[in-house]
Amino acid sequence: MIAPKRMSSRMSFKSALRDLFGLRATLISAFIPMVLLLAAEGAIGAAARPTTVAEIALYQGRDRDQVLVEGAKKEGQVMFYNINTWLSTVAQEFEKKYPFIKVSVWRSDSKTLLKRVTEEYASGRYLVDVIDVTFGGVAILHKMGIFQEYYSPEMVAYADEVKEKGKTGVYYLPDLELYIGLGFNTKLVPPAVAPKTNKDLLDPKWKGRISLAGTSTGIQWVGNVLNVMGREYLEKMGGQDVKVQNISGAALAGLIVSGEVPLSPTIYESNILTSREKGGPVDWRPLEPVVANVGSSGMTTKAPHPHAALLFLDYLHSKEGQKVVMKGGLGSPREDIGSLERKFKKSYLEAQYPLEELEKKFSEWEELMQRLFIRKR
């Protein structure tokens, strides 16, 4: 009776051993394909990682933030051309959030910026990553093919009519509104007697004391008052010994702060607000209708630092970035924030004309400025 039991135990052990090896084989046979599948998926994921500027710009994978941060750490910088002094402050706040990225800022007026960008591209020198410029400027650069279509999660917060849409992304988004009006030195021009309308500028007491910015800011002022006040008004202004300063509106605002220039109707409100906060003896008032410029920004097709460029654009157009923009006295085009309240009448001069006609108008207004205020002197 004992022997059969031992045989039965031996048989049970062998059977259990076979079952164990069978289970192991089954697990291995199931595990190997799984490993191969995961490896294949990893390879596919690696291959799908964006490499070209266009691929990076339009990348919408779940790891987009990670891809941009990792790429930006390697790039270490972003080159930003713009036309507004306050955007340097926005760049500084961006650097605090992303300390591994240095923002190199170059600022000028629209006309000079466009000249620089087109000359660089024509010579094959691709230096700039992100460009901020006015409505007419972005339209020109877009027509030339310099703006790269890109995706940003922030673009949904902007109305369709203020962004240039592509197939899956945008070519540029608005990032600020700024207003051209009367800036004056309060020590030289007391607020109680400072002009309140364009017509007030014709008062004899302002003869020889008014300056205009000779750049696109002044050209827009000429075009606006020509449309609103008429040619006769500009002819009378020509008799006021108006000085045309061949500098930007921001630089002219600096001369008002120092007292070298008493007043100018070609001054951005934001420049005066920031100077006044620092104790400058200056003030600003609207001469209605006020020229309202919309600044828009996008990345270039040859951006040398595309990862950093996209991070910067995401920040600039985010709610966080737009709040920084508004601290400079600028309006925000972002729908879920809204601009600072501006009760004065606005003139969106550049938006009134098709691009081709706008270029002709600018030439006409510049010629008129030359004839009335420069050659006459």
pLDDT in tens, 240-276: 999 999 998 889 999 999 999 999 999 999 889 889 9
Mean pLDDT of 152-167: 91
Q: What's residue 377's pLDDT? A: 59
Confidence of residue 342 (pLDDT cuts 50, 70, 90): low
* Whether the predicted pLDDT of 338 surpasses 80: no
pLDDT digits (tens, 9 = 90+) for 276-319: 989 999 999 999 999 988 899 999 999 999 999 999 999 999 99
Q: What's residue 376's pLDDT? A: 65
Output DSSP code: residue 240. Answer: G
Q: What's residue 46's pLDDT? A: 44
Percent pLDDT > 70 in the chain is 86
Instruction: Look at residue 113 and give its three-state secondary structure.
Output: helix
Confidence of residue 229 (pLDDT cuts 50, 70, 90): very high
> For the ranges 35-49, 76-90, 118-132, 171-185, which has the lowest average pLDDT?
35-49
Confidence of residue 190 (pLDDT cuts 50, 70, 90): very high
Mean pLDDT of 132-158: 94
Rounded CA separation 258/170 (Å)? 42
Rounded CA separation 330/340 (Å)? 7
pLDDT digits (tens, 9 = 90+) for 36-81: 444 444 444 444 789 999 999 999 999 999 999 999 999 999 999 9
Q: In the predicted model, what is the mean pLDDT of the chain? A: 87
Residue 348's nearest CA partner among 293, 298, 276, 281 is: 293
* Whether the predicted pLDDT of 11 surpasses 50: no
Q: Which amino acid is at 10?
A: R
What element of type H or E holds 376? none
Angle subtended at Cα 228 by Cα 339 and Cα 297, rounded to the nearest 5 degrees: 35
Rounded CA separation 134/297 (Å)? 9
Mean pLDDT of 133-152: 94
> For the ranges 30-34, 181-185, 212-216, 337-341, which has the lowest average pLDDT?
30-34
* Whether the predicted pLDDT of 339 surpasses 80: no
* Whether the predicted pLDDT of 1 surpasses 60: no
Compare 74 and 335 and report the one with higher pLDDT: 74
Q: Which amino acid is at 123?
A: S
Using an 8 Å Cβ cutoff, are 181 and 285 in contact?
yes
Mean pLDDT of 193-212: 98
Rounded CA separation 276/79 (Å)? 29
Query: Is the pTM above the cut of 0.75?
Result: no
Mean pLDDT of 99-111: 95
Q: What's residue 172's pLDDT? A: 96
Q: Which value, to the nearest 10 degrees, does the dihedral of the CA atoms of residues 30, 34, 35, 38 take?
A: 180
